[in-house]
Amino acid sequence: MSTVLTPQQVLGRIPQQEPFRFIDEIVKLGDDGIEAAYTWRPDADFYRGHFPGNPVTPGVLIVESMAQVGVVALGIYLLAKEGSIDELNKLVTVFTDVQVDFSGIVTPGSRVEITARKVFFRRRKLRSEVDMKLEDGTVVCSGFLSGMGVPK
């Protein structure tokens, strides 16, 4: 029996937790994509060393945020629709590949908007086209991310 999860239910099922969850809210969610937002905490410990006196958000964490939205959260939604909650509970989503281009930076305290569009979803594998923008619309990173649901 398929289940349509609400944005709040999907957010509650994301396995990443503080301090490694980089999604604050899911704004929009559907069969073809997802929109979410996150505010990068100025007091996050990694800013002390990246870079002292001129902190910027590490690219690997920007990609992680994009993956949490475009692969994990969207994948949870799509897997629940395809199967049952019992089946969903037996899986964990793993990140499999990425191809992104950076075109800007994210500074401490910035609120970003992450948008992912499903490219394909089959046999528990999801590929999404994802971009991250600052609140003013400036794109800081865009590309393709993939992942799949695997047994726990």
CATH of domain 7-151: 3.10.129.10
119 is a catalytic site residue: no
Residue ranges of domains in the chain: 7-151
Indicate which residue of 50, 81, 117, 125 is catalytic: 50
pLDDT by 10s per residue, the chain, length 152: 688 999 999 999 999 999 999 999 999 999 999 999 999 999 999 999 999 999 999 999 999 999 999 999 999 999 999 888 888 899 998 889 999 999 999 999 999 999 999 999 999 999 999 999 999 999 999 999 999 999 99
Beta bridge partners of residue 25, listed in sequence order: 37
Residues sharing a CB contact under 8 Å with residue 145, sequence separation 6 or more, in sequence order: 63, 66, 67, 70, 71, 95, 97, 98, 100, 116, 127, 128, 130
